[in-house]
Every structure is written in structure tokens, then in C-alpha cells.
Structure 1
Amino acid sequence: MLKQSFTYYLTLAVIKLKGLKQKFSQDPIDYKAIRKEDVHHPRGRFFRNNITREFQIFESSITEVSTNTESNKLIMFIHGGAFISGPGQHHWDTIRTIAQETEYTIWMCNYPKAPEHKISEISTNIDTIYQEAQKHFSPKKIVCIGDSVGGTLIAALTQRLIAGNKALPKQLILVSPVMDASLSNEDIAAYDKVDPMLSIKGISSAKRMCAGETSLKNPMISPIYGSFKSFPETILFLSENDIMYPDQMLTINLLKKENVHHKVIIGKSMPHIWPFLPVMKEAKIALRQIIKLLNVS
């Protein structure tokens, strides 16, 4: 059995040093403290040269990044952050690498956050962004990428598109998606003990802030309770040491049941959203896999 890299253990040490587990173990969760890590305007030469425009769609701020102004392909990048924060520097680093290594234009979608905004408002924003994207790109040329609750929002968007008989994106790439905001799966408790980043207590608090009067089992915030019939190709990058893992396993079964073309990449002993984490060798390998998938699609 292969050992993890030195940078894997270094990453875990940094996660511990930052106190992420502690921050996500509070109820109510201190969303203001977590937001201090947000990066809304990335710095550096690459972004100065390759942010082609910044604009608003409804209540969302969109940053368009492209190294090829003639590109006819779009990535709708829906960042994670437990609905209460984001985007983070790791999201921008990921976007930079994808933009450098593919021909895609990328829309970083900075949607409104809880608790000031609820899931119904956030969902309307995601729907409106996709509607606007179709004015500029063929749905057959659109890929949706999301990590954590970004994956939630993409899966729920897709369910609404199918229900409304609307055109679907070509492909979904979901990184450690949160599929059930209720966290009612009894198997999660065991993963809480090994997850270095997230905790049931804090995540539950964030979900309640976002849900408001909406049931935590509404497919809008918990797509596992919706239908996966007719989903486009779906790629899942999952983390073994993640409290979301048990619900992701159930989701795979639902995809199989509906004969959805899908692929699953499991990070052995990896933490939540590992392909987007900085420094770690395993993350770089996973991101290369994502880029390879994009370059053949």
C-alpha cells in the first residue's frame, strides 16, 4: 500500500494549525470569522492579464477568466464554502491552473451567501447565471464545476433543468459535493472522527442558516432527495476522510440506478475538496485528472 506524500501530512498540519475543524464545530457557526479568508478580487500578474470582464448577474458577481478570447467553451465554476463564505484563494488558484491548461473561458460565480440570503434566493441566482450563460455559449459547450456546496448547487440546478425540460450542460464535475444538508445519515458520525476539516455540528448550523424555512430535505438544498434521471455525464471526486462521503456513496447508487454515465475518483484518506487544496502532491495529480477530462470533452 502506497504511503501518502510528505505534502499530504504538511497539508493536514496546516489545516490543524488554522483550526478549521474547530471553526466548523461551533453552533452557531461563526460565519463572519470564516469569511475573513474570502478572496473576492484575486491578485497577481495572471489575473491582471486574463480577467476579461467582471459583471453582475442578478445578485451574483461574475469574474470571467480566459487565456483565449476566441473560446466557445465555458466552465461555470460554483465555489464551495458551506453557503456562508467564499470564494477562497484555493478556488482562484484552481481557476488559474485550469485556464492555463485548457481552452475554456471560466466564470467564477460569486453568489449571495447565508445567513443574509436563503437557499431559494441562491438557487434563483444559479438558475439566472445558467440562463445568461446560454446566451453566449451552447449548452453542449458548458461544463459545470463545483466543490462542496458548489456541487450541491450544480446538482440541484441540473434537477430543475430536467424538470423544466431545459437544455443541460455537457458535463458536471463535482468535487466533494454535499448531497444531503440534513446530515441524517447515521454513518456520518464515524467520519466526523477522522475528518480533519469539517464537523457535523458546524456544518448543520450553516445549513440551517441557509435553509431558513425550507426543509433540509428539499432537493434544492439536498439533491439526494431529487431525481438523477437523465443527468449528463457526471464526474465525482470524493474524499474518504470527509463527513460527506456516506451520502456521496448513496448518490453513486442513484446514478447507477438511472444509468447515468458517470466516473468516480476516490481520494484514499483524503480530506474534503482535496483536488483544490494547495501544495499537496495528491491534489496536483487530481487537478491534472480534471484538466485531462476537460481537454477531451
Structure 2
Amino acid sequence: MSWQSALACWVLRRRMRPETGKPAIDVARARALTSKRAWLPKVPPGWRLEERYGQADAPLRGEWLVPDKPSATTILYLHGGGYYFCSPATHRGLVFPLARRSGARTFSLDYRLAPETPFPAALDDALAAYRKLVADGTPPESIVIAGDSAGGGLALATLLALRDAGDLLPAGAAVFAPWTDLAATGASMKTNDGRDPMFYGKAFAPAGKLYTGDADVRNPYVSPLYGRFDGLPPLFIQVGDTEVLLDDSTRVAEKARASGVSVDLEIWPKMPHVFQILAPFVPEANQALERAAGFVRRVTMRQAETAEVS
């Protein structure tokens, strides 16, 4: 564990974790706090940022990070934030280095948030964005869907919905500490409750109801843990071993492997939730993103080679 990650955990334990122990969710406060990030990355040299937030930009409403040199790979990124806060801008610290390392043009989706627009709004937006990419000529086999926390769960739910609808699937999905069980039944909700530097386990069930509203919290399109995983493309999952959400990753990995899906599961010791967003300051974040980028390159190249042979 680097001193940088130890410092990050110390700060999170004192500043963010207490917020998750409060009896009620203050949506406005969460949004205000995350909108005041002290640091945002600059656009990497050789890349350009295209912000598309007009009504006419839907369903691709959000941000493109595009390399000056043409790229054959596209990442559709779904940000975390419990489905009720954060945005593409708050997650540039993760999206920019992932795009740069993988060489992929990357679209970060500004999906609709709860409680104003609960389930299935976020899923509908993710499906519409993916289908628009394909309709615009992006080969499905060149796309990787990625996301963190709630966005990671949304990425997996999107795969399930695409498969069930008969759509051509992307090359794979890369997810960081995905929130896959909004019923909060994982044992790590209790066993890691005192170890997780960012969250109390009791924070997740109320947040889940904020998103689901009247929907069944075990609906696979809400909580992909309860879905079928057969027929899905390769999955890449990273999670910290002290997270209360640890079992949300390990149980999905176990079910997916049992269904014949290729899964790369990486459990990082003593890392906080979505530590990848701490790049470039935390060495482990840089290493993790390099490995995730390697997965993106590997699965899209493999799919391209398969398409050429066929």
C-alpha cells in the first residue's frame, strides 16, 4: 500500500465516510459536494474534449474524449454516484487516463438521475446511447462498456438488456467496484463495515430504494447480480478487498464464470472504493487503469480478428 493511497484512505475516512452514516440521504448536498472537486484533469495532448449537453444531443448527451489520430476502439463510459449524483465531469479523473491508456475514443454518458427520474431512466439512456453508437456505424465488436460503482452495475444491466433484446453485444465490459446488488445482501456489507474507508454498509439499501422507487430491487435490470450471465462478452472487474461492495463483485464473477463467461477479477488490497479515480496521484490507480486499458485493447483486437476470419 503506497503512502499516497494510505493518505487518500485517511482523508476519505474523515470526510466522506461520516456522510454515509447519516440517517437520511441529502441528494442536494451530495451533488453540491461532488461538484466542488478541487482538481480536474486537463485534456491530454493529442486529444480533444467535445461537450454535448444540448437537448438535441440526446441520446448521446455527455462528453466525448477523442484522439487526434483515428481510433478503431470506442468506450461507452457510465459514471458512478449511486444513480443520484455525479456526472461525466466529476469522473474525468478516471475517464481521461483510461481513454489515453487504451487509445479509445470515449463517450461519457450524462444519463438521467434519481430521484427525479428513477429506474428505468438510467438504463433506457444507456441502451439508447449504445444503440445510437451502433446505428451511427460503430461496430459493436469495437465497443467496450465501462463504468464504476452504480455505473458499473448499470454497465452490466445494459449487457443483460441488450442480450435479452437480441442486440449485437459489445466486445466486453470493464467495471470498477460495480454496485450489482441494490438489495444489499452481500456478507461484505457487514464484514467490511469497519474496514471500508469510504462507506458504511447501511448506506446502500436506502440509496437503492432512491433509484428503484416502486420497482423490484431484485429485478436483474436493477441489480444484475440476480440475472442470467450466459451469452455475455468478457468481463473485467476491479474492486478493493476492504470495500463493503466487495461481494457485489465476487458474486457476479462467480455467477458469470459458472455460465461460461470469461471473467478477469482483480481484488486490490486496502484500496478504497473506485480508487482508479485517484490517478495520477496514487500509484495503484495508475497500475489498475493500465490493466483495464490492456483489457480494452485485448478484447477489441480479439473481436476484430474474429470478424476478419469469419
- Same topology, TM > 0.5: yes
Shift of 1:204: 1.9
* Distance of 1:99 and 1:248 partners within structure 2: 23
Query: Out of 8, 23, 33, which is 1:27 matched to?
Result: 23
One-letter code aligned to 1:125: D
Per the alignment, residue 296 of structure 2 pairs with: 294
Shift of 1:134: 0.7
Q: Is the 8 A contact 1:39 1:86 kept in 2?
A: no
Q: What are the superposed Cα offsets for residues 54-78 of structure 1, whole Å, 9 maximum, x if unpaired? A: 2555477321111135223210010
Q: Check if 1:154 corresponds to 2:150.
A: no
SS at match of 1:237: strand
| TM-score of the aligned structures, taking structure 1 as reference length | 0.91
Shift of 1:180: 0.3
Distance change >3 Å, CA 206–CA 270, structure 1 → 2: same
Q: What are the superposed Cα offsets for residues 79-130 of structure 1, whole Å, 9 maximum, x if unpaired? A: 1001111137662022222333333110011111111110111111111111
Distance change >3 Å, CA 51–CA 290, structure 1 → 2: same
Q: What are the superposed Cα offsets for residues 239-283 of structure 1, whole Å, 9 maximum, x if unpaired? A: 111111123222121012101011111101222112222421111
* Distance of 2:47 and 2:193 partners within structure 1: 42
Structure 2 unaligned spans of 5+: 301-310
- Give the alignment's Cα RMSD to 1 decimal: 2.3
Q: Is the 8 A contact 1:148 1:178 kept in 2?
A: yes
SS at match of 1:150: helix
Q: What are the superposed Cα offsets for residues 38-63 of structure 1, whole Å, 9 maximum, x if unpaired? A: 379x6745499611452555477321
Q: Is the 8 A contact 2:148 2:177 kept in 1?
A: yes
Shift of 1:214: 0.4
One-letter code aligned to 2:245: M
Q: Percent identity?
A: 21
Distance change >3 Å, CA 120–CA 181, structure 1 → 2: same
Shift of 1:186: 4.1
Per the alignment, residue 51 of structure 1 pairs with: 49
One-letter code aligned to 2:282: M
Per the alignment, residue 212 of structure 1 pairs with: 213
* Distance of 1:274 and 1:141 partners within structure 2: 26
SS at match of 1:256: helix
**Paired positions, count:** 292
Query: Out of 1, 4, 8, which is 2:5 matched to?
Result: 8
Alignment of structure 1 residues 231-250 onto 2, 5 Å? 231-250=232-251
Structure 1 unaligned spans of 5+: none
Shift of 1:171: 1.0
Per the alignment, residue 124 of structure 2 pairs with: 124
Per the alignment, residue 67 of structure 1 pairs with: 67
Q: Is the 8 A contact 1:238 1:245 kept in 2?
A: yes
* Distance of 1:282 and 1:49 partners within structure 2: 24
* Distance of 1:178 and 1:191 partners within structure 2: 15
* Distance of 1:43 and 1:280 partners within structure 2: 14
* Distance of 1:49 and 1:265 partners within structure 2: 29
One-letter code aligned to 1:250: R
* Distance of 2:128 and 2:148 partners within structure 1: 20
Distance change >3 Å, CA 158–CA 53, structure 1 → 2: same
One-letter code aligned to 2:18: Q
SS at match of 1:227: coil
SS at match of 1:160: helix
Shift of 1:228: 0.5
One-letter code aligned to 2:126: I
* Distance of 1:90 and 1:287 partners within structure 2: 17
